[in-house]
Amino acid sequence: MKDVGDRIHADGRWVVTAGWDGGKRIWVSGSDPVATPRWPLVIDPSGLAATFLRYQDSNYVDAANPAHLRPERIRLALLGALRYGKPLVFDLREADLFPVVWQQLEAVRPGLAQELLSQELLEQERYLSLLRPADGPEYNPSRFQAARLRHFRVVFVTEAPWPPTEQLRVLLPIRVLLPSGGL
């Protein structure tokens, strides 16, 4: 992802990524700490954010494409993002596909969706439980380096102007505002 600095504007507040504490992300907002770190939900009805993220160095999953939602493909996309320290982008399009993504994460391994959203997957190398013998030497446990894991992110992007309340509760909503005159 392009570096846009250490601040993002979310829900009318400035949110700053302060750093990591034992593998957990620390978020602060002015003087108020955000109680639970959450992965971002980029709300962009124009679709430009999804296009931008698709062509960055990320592992992109199009939730509207059944081939992208196969459990094995999701598992490899997640492992690759972890191994190489890249963002894992779930493009929900304009539909309510968050429950479908959740279901497919659960098909990879029961409990995976919650572990990923709560960021517990990053604790004590829990992500290594996703490895299979057929994955080859590229995914040898010694290849997962802390320096790269620090750059791992999960980003959900939607074109729905008003995502369902559940998504707003479990993810950090970030609304993209285009200039009033267009591009």
Q: What is the pLDDT of residues 131-169, one digit of tens each?
A: 999 998 999 999 999 999 999 999 999 999 999 999 999
pLDDT at position 16 over 50:
no
Global pTM reads: 0.79
Domain 37-175, CATH 3.40.50 — does that match? yes
With 0-12 / 13-18 / 19 or more C-beta atoms within 10 angstroms meaning exposed / middle / buried, residue 12 is exposed
Average pLDDT over residues 21-48: 65
Residue pointed to by tokens 């960021």:
119
What Cα–Cα distance (Å) separates residue 16 from each residue in 29, 70, 82, 120, 163? 6, 34, 22, 21, 23
| Inter-residue contact 153 to 59 (CB < 8 Å) | no
Of 17, 5, 51, 11, residue with least CA distance to 153: 17
Helix or strand (DSSP H, E) at 112: helix 112-118
Other C-beta atoms lying within 10 Å of the C-beta of residue 150: 14
